[in-house]
Amino acid sequence: MYIDKKEIEQLEQHYRRAFINSLAGFRQVVLVGTKSADGITNLAIFNSLIHLGANPALFGLMSRPDTVQRDTLQNILDTKEYTLNYIQAAQYKKAHQTSARYGKGISEFDKVGFIPLYHSGCYAPFVEEAVVKIAMRFEDSIPISLNGTVLIVGSIMQVDINDGMVGGDGFVNLSASEVLISQGLDAYFVSKEVGRLPYAKP
Amino acid sequence: MYIDKKEIEQLEQHYRRAFINSLAGFRQVVLVGTKSADGITNLAIFNSLIHLGANPALFGLMSRPDTVQRDTLQNILDTKEYTLNYIQAAQYKKAHQTSARYGKGISEFDKVGFIPLYHSGCYAPFVEEAVVKIAMRFEDSIPISLNGTVLIVGSIMQVDINDGMVGGDGFVNLSASEVLISQGLDAYFVSKEVGRLPYAKP
C-alpha cells in the first residue's frame, strides 16, 4: 500500500485518525493521576510519554486541547504535581475506560475502580494497583503551534517500584510484570523479549 | 524500592542513565534515514517517536545534542527531508549497531548493511528491508530549554506499507509483522496482543 499526503488528507476522518495514530507505533501506557485545586481526583490514560533526559531526570507528555486529557493539563498547571502509573495487562479494560468523558466533578478513580494512594510530599494521587509509580513536578509547558498541542515537561520527584523489578545495572524489568503497552487509540499489548545488546562500537 | 529526586541525583552515572531511560517504558524503534547536502547517507536509531496529530498528520522526534543523532538533526535542518523506517525483530542487532559512532563521511547503510531505497519526491533514503516506510518533511524544531534537547516536528508526505498490514478501519497491524520495540538504551522486544476495545463511554 502506498499513500501520499494529498490522499491522507482525503481519507474519511475516523479511518485517518485510526491510521495515523496506529502508524506511530507502540508506546507505554501511562495513567496520569492529578487532583484539582478544589480536591477532585482525576485519572486519565496517556500514550505519549517521552524520555527527555536522565540528569536531571525529565519526562514529557503531549496533551491535546480537544480531549478529556484537558482536565489533567488544567490540574497540572494549577497544582504543579502529577503522578505516572504503569499497570499490568490484566487491568487493560479499566485503564481504557478512564478515557470516557465523565462530567465535571466526577473522579475516574471512583467510576472505573482504581484505588487512589497518597505518598507524603505529593498532592496528586497514585494508582495503588500500579507496579510503577512516579511522582512528577511540573517544570514547563511548551506549545506546538502547528496544531495547538502542548508538551508538558516534568521532573521526577519520587519513584516507587515493585521489589525485584530493578536489575543490578539499573535496568527496570517491565516485561516480566506484563506492563501494558498500546498502539493507536484502542489496541493493547504486552512485550516479549528479543534481547539486550552491549553498547555499539564501530 | 523507593527512591526520591535527591537519591536519583546521587546515583552512579551509568546506573542512573539505564534506570531513568528504562523507566520511561516501551517505545517504537525507528530508523531515521537522511542524506547530507553533499550526498552522504545517514541512518540512526531513535526511540522517541511521538504522534502529534492526525489532521494534519504530524509526528515528532526528540533529538539530543550530545549523541550521534546530531548528524541526523543537521541533515534534517539542511535538506528538510527524512524517512522513518520500522523493521522486524530479526534485524534488531543491525538496528542497534546504527548507534555506533562512525566517523564523518561514513554511511551507516554501508557499515551496518541496510539497503538504501529511493522514492521519487524524497531526497532522503528509505530502508529497503523496512515493513513500514514513511517520508517526512521538516516543519519546525522546538527547543526544550531545560536540557538542550530539540523536538523535531515533521509532516507525513508518503507512507509505504507492506500489503495486508492495514485493516478495514485504518488500523495498522504492526504486531503480526513482529515490528521491533525497545526499552531503555539496549533492550528489544516484540508485541503480543492483549485486545482491542471500543470507544469508551461513561
Top CATH class of A13-189 equals mainly beta
pLDDT at B127: 98
Give this prediction's pTM: 0.96
Which regions of chain A does DSSP assign to beta strands (E)?
2-4, 26-28, 30-35, 41-46, 49-54, 57-63, 81-86, 116-117, 126-127, 132-144, 149-161, 181-183, 187-196
Contact (CB<8Å) A188/B193: yes
Measured in angstroms, the CA of B74 and the nearest CA of chain A are apart by 19
The grid coordinates listed for B114 are 541496510
What totals of helices (H) and strands (E) does chain A contain, helices first?
A: 5, 13
The grid coordinates listed for B150 are 530539540
Nearest residue, CB atoms, B169 vs list A15, A102, A146? A15
What average pLDDT does the segment B175-184 reach? 98
Nearest residue, CB atoms, A16 vs list B2, B25, B55? B55
Residue A179: closest CA among chain B residues belongs to which residue?
A: B25
Q: What is the mean pLDDT of chain B?
A: 95
Residue B111 has pLDDT above 70, yes or no: yes
Contact (CB<8Å) A192/B191: yes
Topology of domain B25-189, CATH: Pnp Oxidase; Chain A (2.30.110)
Domain boundaries, chain B: 25-189
State which amino acid sits at residue A172. V
The answer to whether ipTM exceeds 0.90 is: yes
Measured in angstroms, the CA of B55 and the nearest CA of chain A are apart by 7
In this complex, is the C-beta atom of B64 within 8 Å of any C-beta atom belonging to chain A?
yes
Q: What is the pLDDT of residues A24-83, one digit of tens each?
A: 999 999 999 999 999 999 999 999 999 999 999 999 999 987 665 688 999 999 999 999
What average pLDDT does the segment A107-118 reach? 97
Q: What is the pLDDT of residues B63-104, one digit of tens each?
A: 987 665 688 999 999 999 999 999 999 999 999 999 999 988
